[in-house]
Structure 1
Amino acid sequence: MHRRTTCAVLALVAAFLGASGDAGTHGARFVVVEAATGAVALSRPVDDGQQVRLEHTHSVTKRPVTTVFSLDSTAGLAMREMRFDTFGANLPVGPERIGEETTTFLRGEDEYRVLHHDRPLGAVRLMVGGPEVDHTVTLPGGERVRLLELVASGTSVTLAVQAPTPR
């Protein structure tokens, strides 16, 4: 009976992995992980060099802010740029020196862009805001995922790239 149960469980796991597109896939994955529990709230396959956008509504200005990250299977997330259309708390007002690098601050017709030149971050931890903040991740390929659909408001999550698993 034990052997039959084990075989049934293994068959279910194999079926699940095949249905979720993970069978035979050993590449890197973009993940959203609950910081307190380590539970993976989101996991999607990605390739090096692809980008993920994190969008939210600024708590003070009530205007959209977009942060763009590039993905690397060994280095994790790197900050490419930030976009916003008005100044507010914790938003840059010009170039900033961060470590050995200086950001590039661009004023466009409709927005400000701060280029971070792929500054390595590894992972990004954030507290998921409520509906008024509406943290949303846009994945490679255009899939948009509201973090509030994954976890409750006030949950601390980590955005990261999970390295490929060895075969």
Structure 2
Amino acid sequence: MRLPDVSPRSQRPALYPNFQEVSSAKASELAQAAEDLASRMTATLEEFQRRKEESDHIHDLLITRVERAAERILVLEYRIAEMEDDFEANQSELKFLRIQLQALEAQCAQYIPHNEDPELTESILNWKVDWEDIDKRSKARRKKCKMSVTNLSDSQKVVDGS
């Protein structure tokens, strides 16, 4: 195997054909500009690092808040489920009592002529009025709860930007 001939140094092309001799004043000016640029870049880098640390801190705070909010939502959902169960039990109990009252009225109707015992008639009427009042209040509470939950979810959508 044969190596290519090496030409003398004078015949070789210049590595930097456009290289010109730079005066010492120009070199000093370029060095100063490079140092200024390096110091500005260092300051910018430090500012970016501070901003990143601040951003990370804010991110951590937001994550903590979201986790707490999620826990609070779970607790509230559990409470709502308990309250709904209580409500259903109360409604069931009220219906049972109403049925019992109707059964008593039917049983007593044979033995006591209508309006014969004014105290019994008044008690029955009072019970009916009380039951209607309780029923209306529970329906109003339920409607109010549904509206407040709807308003809360609507306001949460506005806050979230949805």
Same fold (TM over 0.5): no
Q: What TM-score results when the alignment is normalised by the length of structure 2?
A: 0.23
Structure number with the higher helix fraction is 2
Structure number with the higher strand fraction is 1
Q: What TM-score results when the alignment is normalised by the length of structure 1?
A: 0.22
